[in-house]
Amino acid sequence: MPALSRSACVALDASDPIRHLRDEFALPEGIVYLDGNSLGARPRAAAARAAQVVEVEWGRGLIRSWNDAGWWELSVRLGDKLAPLIGAGPGEVVVTDNISVNLYKLLSVALAVQAERDPARRVVVSERRNFPTDLYIVEGLLRQLGGGYALRLVDSPDEIAEAVGADTAVLLLTQVNYRTGELLDMPSLTALAHERGALAIWDLAHSAGAVPVDVRGADADFALGCTYKFLNAGPGAPAFAWVPARFQDRPQPLSGWWGHAAPFAMEPAFRGAPGIRRFLTGTQPIVSLALVECGLDPFLRTDMATLRAKSLALTDLFIQLVEERCAGHPLTLVTPREHARRGSQVSLEHPEGYAVMRALVERGVIGDYREPRILRFGFTPLYLGFADTWDAVEALRDVLEARAWDAPRFRERAAVT
Amino acid sequence: MPALSRSACVALDASDPIRHLRDEFALPEGIVYLDGNSLGARPRAAAARAAQVVEVEWGRGLIRSWNDAGWWELSVRLGDKLAPLIGAGPGEVVVTDNISVNLYKLLSVALAVQAERDPARRVVVSERRNFPTDLYIVEGLLRQLGGGYALRLVDSPDEIAEAVGADTAVLLLTQVNYRTGELLDMPSLTALAHERGALAIWDLAHSAGAVPVDVRGADADFALGCTYKFLNAGPGAPAFAWVPARFQDRPQPLSGWWGHAAPFAMEPAFRGAPGIRRFLTGTQPIVSLALVECGLDPFLRTDMATLRAKSLALTDLFIQLVEERCAGHPLTLVTPREHARRGSQVSLEHPEGYAVMRALVERGVIGDYREPRILRFGFTPLYLGFADTWDAVEALRDVLEARAWDAPRFRERAAVT
């Protein structure tokens, strides 16, 4: 069956039950934004909230706002608000720091747990194609620990089963790959880790808010992720960490005063706070942190099943339209076709991927580029529609047909690509 | 000589050469704000800057703002802007994370340097009365390192000399004590550490922007501090770390992707960036980070010598007025009288300190309280004047004379005190 016409896409938008949620986002005119997997669009509410925090809470409330405006409770309160999106319970999630720092904490605890259970387990297994910061943090921590710890990288998910063995302490995986958009099976890979005596840490950077996640249902051990992608919390907004109750009483190494049982008693010795609060480090950036709530609120007006159904419909449509309308151009689909293995993005390889994306952005279709040769298109069903998808493919077709990408200004590399 | 009259204070304000800088801050009517040592007041420019980052850079620029709005460079650019305030050079300071996380990085590097020079040096010396998060982070790191590392705490600065010996790796001190306002002599204590073979790490949380600091002149080894106190950068704004060139090529354990030599090459192995950038972890909270600049800009229109002279005049006046006008009440001066040993705050002990401060705040004089029994009054010469100081003492006198503090609502403890 041929893909839909643009007017059929417009009709689909008109009957989309969550079409109105788009109005909660401030999208610039004339732009199709397909980079919500890197930086989510701005919720309209964020402007007023930022003004309130800066002008009223900070400006007028001053120091009193730590109590009166609830700043002190934000990390934990927002963690509870985020929790349902990943299948976590109350008191299990905290919004704080960034992924790199949070992974350092969680992996430290996981390795300490394993050192008690079986000191021979000193290997962390992950994917070579994992988002690099995860691998870099493993390196940093293992260097610190010394003593025979090692990182073992596999080249593809197929190799995970044979890589996890009697020497493995932790299986560290990202549920949706940042480059390919491939979605891993969290329940079965966690079960595999557990069968072999390893703990499973899941990075949800590209899955929280993008696909239904159930950390409890999958029996995962730890999880973390960021809020500025599909959760639309703003540039560099603090990340989140999930620690189930069974690991919450463990010491974590970045034991700053926000994780103390009585932070204002100013005791010289550390006593960890009960619960998830122990995974806080020190003072958090309140303005950025407060905006996380503006990103989470739209999710209260829908559910992940609805969002997932629309996300798959959008990415299906995108794939089909590209294959029909851009046929004859050297585009290769990188993202799995199977729904069960696809996140909320579509990646295409093109020999001139970088220049193609630059030319496309100039035409108002904003995706991004990742080495090597990958065009990434993220689909955020909260604010993207079917006609947007049609228009994006049409712009891509145009760029390819006219060889618009073949210009020096598109080939020159920017600092951040 | 008796202290000044209020009209003499008004005259001093009128002839104050930096009086106009007060206009750069949005202070609420009817408030005397003496808590800039905990959370600096809001620069007026912060409201427009927050709106620009949220509405224009995030909302319209979207992902393009990482390049176009300079987000990617903010941590390093703001570090260079902050550097002169602490006597650091360009490329030596980065604004990132919080004090707890930054101390973990710097102390890790310092201990690694010492482990190479002399593995017998495994003691960190600090003050028991240091701000607790510094001690908690030492604990967390030493637990992680295992192997005979220890923290040695002294009860007063007088004991530092005998505590630093052949087993000492690092002397970790805070230049201005958060509770007493006592200013330590950075050059001589650093020299002492070096004579005994130890490295010196300085926490500048209560000195950056409050007193002239010269980390290079003092030959310090590492320094860090926060931006939300005397630097007026906003609630929980990211902290700073100073690492001189001689230590910049060392690995630090929180080696996230922002510290990689080629972050967008997405290499699986870590290669540290040259220079101070290596001390970055991962993505930073851009809205909060951008506001740091609004806090730093007013310092460009004066200098630390001018600010220090006014700060000492204000704290001298405050001490003298309290001693004259509140005589007969059980107030004890905790902060040193000698200028060379005083930061930019005055602490007073009162048996009912908590309730006294609550009553004072209700009258519009905002200081804060620290265990045990300490009333803290911070003096930010950028926005405080002599008449403010006079009014604050008058309110304190009033609260004490009328025993206004002796009410149940002032004795009940708030969550954050």
Helical H segments across A146-208, by residue range: 160-163, 186-195
pLDDT, position B416: 53
Helical H segments across A74-176, by residue range: 74-82, 99-117, 132-145, 160-163
ipTM > 0.95, yes or no: yes
Q: A286-296 and A74-82 helices cross at what angle (nearest 10)?
A: 20
Please give the mean pLDDT across all residues of chain A: 97
Q: What is the DSSP string of A237-274?
A: ---EEE--GGGTTS--S---GGGBSSGGG--SS--BPS
A221-232 pLDDT, tens digit per residue, is 999 999 999 999
pLDDT, position A296: 98
Residue range B69-89: mean pLDDT, rounded = 98
Q: What is the DSSP string of B213-280?
A: --TTTTT-SEEEE-SSSTT---TT---EEE--GGGTTS--S---GGGBSSGGG--SS--BPSGGGGG-
Strand-strand pairing, A222-225 and B150-154: unpaired
Using a CB-CB distance cutoff of 8 angstroms, which residues of chain A are in contact with residue B50? 50-51, 54, 287
CB spacing of B257 vs A133 below 8 angstroms: yes
Of A188 and B147, the one with more pLDDT: A188
Using a CB-CB distance cutoff of 8 angstroms, which residues of chain A are in contact with residue B370? 266
B149-202 pLDDT, tens digit per residue, is 999 999 999 999 999 999 999 999 999 999 999 999 999 999 999 999 999 999
Window 266-305 of B: residues touching A by CB (8 A cutoff) are 266-270, 281-289, 291
Closest CA to B267 of B278, B259, B277: B259
Other C-beta atoms closer than 10 Å to the C-beta of A354 total: 22
Residue range A62-68: mean pLDDT, rounded = 96
Residue B111 has pLDDT above 50, yes or no: yes
Confidence of residue B417 (pLDDT cuts 50, 70, 90): very low
What predicted TM-score, i.e. pTM, was given to this entire model?
Answer: 0.97
Confidence of residue A43 (pLDDT cuts 50, 70, 90): very high
Strand-strand pairing, B32-33 and A332-333: unpaired
Q: Within an 8 Å CB–CB cutoff, is residue B64 touching chain A? A: yes
B188-198 pLDDT, tens digit per residue, is 999 999 999 99
Residue B193 has phi, psi (to 5 degrees) of -60, -50
A162-207 pLDDT, tens digit per residue, is 999 999 999 999 999 999 999 999 999 999 999 999 999 999 999 9
Please give the mean pLDDT across all residues of chain B: 97
Window 237-266 of A: residues touching B by CB (8 A cutoff) are 237-239, 251-260, 263-266
pLDDT, position A416: 53
pLDDT, position A415: 57
A231-263 pLDDT, tens digit per residue, is 999 999 999 999 999 999 999 999 999 999 999
A324-340 pLDDT, tens digit per residue, is 999 999 999 999 999 99
Beta bridge partners of A94: A241
| Percent of chain B predicted with pLDDT > 90 | 96
Q: Report the SS3 class of residue A172.
A: strand
Minimal Cα–Cα distance from B322 to chain A, Å? 23
- Token pair listed for B351: 């048996």
Q: Within an 8 Å CB–CB cutoff, is residue B56 touching chain A? A: no
B282-341 pLDDT, tens digit per residue, is 999 999 999 999 999 999 999 999 999 999 999 999 999 999 999 999 999 999 999 999
The whole-angstrom separation of Cα B68 and Cα A20 is 31
Confidence of residue A417 (pLDDT cuts 50, 70, 90): very low
Using a CB-CB distance cutoff of 8 angstroms, which residues of chain B are in contact with residue A414? 67
Confidence of residue A280 (pLDDT cuts 50, 70, 90): very high
CB spacing of A153 vs B285 below 8 angstroms: no
Q: Give Cα separations from B385 to B35, B359, B380 (angstroms).
A: 14, 22, 9
Compute the radius of gyration of chain A from its Cα atoms. Answer: 22
Using a CB-CB distance cutoff of 8 angstroms, which residues of chain A are in contact with residue B42? 54-55, 58-59
Residue B272: closest CA among chain A residues belongs to which residue? A136
